[in-house]
Amino acid sequence: MFQRNFSLAQVTSLGVGGPADYFIQPSNVDEIILAQRFALDKNLPLTIIGYGTNLLIRDGGIRGVVMRLAEPFAKAKVKSNFLTATTGCLFSSISKLALHHNLSGLEFAVGIPGGLGGAAFMNAGAYGGEIGPLIHEIEFVQNGEVGRWCKEDFSFSYRSSRIQKEQHMTIVSQVVLELLPTNKSIILEKMNDLQTQRRSKQPVEYPSAGSTFKRPTGHYVGPLIEKAGLKGLRVGGAEVSCKHGGFLIKTGESRACDFLKLISIIQKEILEQFSVELEPEIRILGED
| DSSP secondary structure string for all residues of the chain | --EEEEEGGGGSTT----EEEEEE--SSHHHHHHHHHHHHHHT--EEEE-S-TTEEE-TT-EEEEEEE-SGGG--EEEETTEEEEETTSBHHHHHHHHHHTTEES-GGGTT--SBHHHHHHHT-EETTEESGGGEEEEEEEETTEEEEEEGGG---BTTB-HHHHTTTTEEEEEEEEE-EE--HHHHHHHHHHHHHHHHHHS-TTS-EEEE-BPPPTT--HHHHHHHTT-TT-EETTEEE-SS-TTEEEE-SS--HHHHHHHHHHHHHHHHHHH-----B-SEEES--
Domain segments of the chain as ranges: 3-71, 74-186, 203-285
pTM of the predicted protein model: 0.90
Annotated catalytic residue 162: no
Set 13, 211, 241, 254: catalytic member: 211
Residues 35-79 pLDDT 10s: 999 999 999 999 999 999 999 999 999 999 999 999 999 999 999
Annotated catalytic residue 254: no
Set 107, 139, 239, 281: catalytic member: 281
Report the CATH architecture of 3-71.
2-Layer Sandwich (3.30)
**CATH class of the domain at 74-186:** alpha beta
Annotated catalytic residue 63: no
Residues 251-282 pLDDT 10s: 999 999 999 999 999 999 999 999 999 999 99
Set 58, 68, 159, 255: catalytic member: 159
**Which pLDDT band holds residue 10 (cuts at 50, 70, 90)?**
very high
Pick the CATH number of 203-285 from 3.90.78.10, 3.40.720.10, 3.10.290.10, 3.20.20.70: 3.90.78.10
Look at residue 27 in the predicted model and tell me its pLDDT: 96
